[in-house]
């Protein structure tokens, strides 16, 4: 392979070279073909990247991170209609991710989506089963920790409106939800 195609080739560090080449080339490919993908195809690409976080190889995690980062940075608008599905899939897969970095990438995706589509993310998280398990609690905690003050105000308004619309919930149902949000 010619050196020009490898971008930042350093012969003394072959492992870093591979990760760098993967990152640069995947970024170029997604930016090149992204405008031609439908919102459904973009969602499938994001979910496939998140699925590869199950693997323990660093190259898989770097690749998944790169793909999710490029999609969220450049094509988040194409994900709007599928936000509940994405959040649900992340909830389902969170238990099978054993690497800390992989879990962080998934939770960052939730937070990034919430920054643009708080109502959809909040509604999807409220569909998680009660009482909350560890994975739903992790998602709520990440959502509140990675959000700005403005996003937290929006989140609280959404939750208060949900309580006004559905006041039939008992105190036992509200307390597990309030702990991560207020904690």
Q: Taking residues 78-86, report their average pLDDT.
A: 93
Lowest mean pLDDT among 28-32, 50-54, 139-143: 28-32
Has residue 55 got a pLDDT over 50?
yes
Q: What rounded mean pLDDT belongs to the chain? A: 80
> Strands, E, within the chain: which ranges?
none
- pLDDT per residue over 9-47, tens digit each? 455 554 554 455 555 677 777 888 888 888 898 999 899
Structure tokens at 107: 């939770």
Global pTM value: 0.73
- Domain segments of the chain: what residues? 3-182
């Amino acid at each position: 392979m010619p050196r020009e195609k490898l971008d930042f080739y350093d012969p003394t560090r072959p492992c870093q070279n591979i990760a760098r080449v993967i990152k640069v080339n995947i970024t170029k490919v997604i930016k090149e073909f992204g405008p031609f993908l439908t919102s459904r195809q973009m969602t499938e690409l994001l979910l496939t990247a998140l699925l590869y976080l199950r693997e323990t190889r660093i190259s898989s995690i770097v690749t998944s991170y790169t793909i999710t980062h490029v999609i969220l940075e450049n094509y988040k608008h194409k994900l709007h209609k599928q936000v509940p599905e994405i959040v649900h899939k992340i909830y389902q897969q969170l238990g099978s991710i054993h690497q800390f970095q992989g879990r962080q990438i998934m939770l960052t995706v939730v937070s990034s989506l919430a920054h643009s589509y708080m109502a959809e993310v909040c509604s999807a998280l409220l569909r998680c089963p009660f009482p909350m398990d560890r994975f739903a609690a992790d998602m709520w905690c990440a959502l509140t920790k990675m959000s700005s003050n403005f996003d937290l105000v929006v989140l609280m308004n959404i939750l208060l409106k949900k309580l006004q619309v559905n006041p039939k919930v008992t105190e036992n149902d509200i307390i597990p939800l309030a702990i991560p949000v207020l904690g």
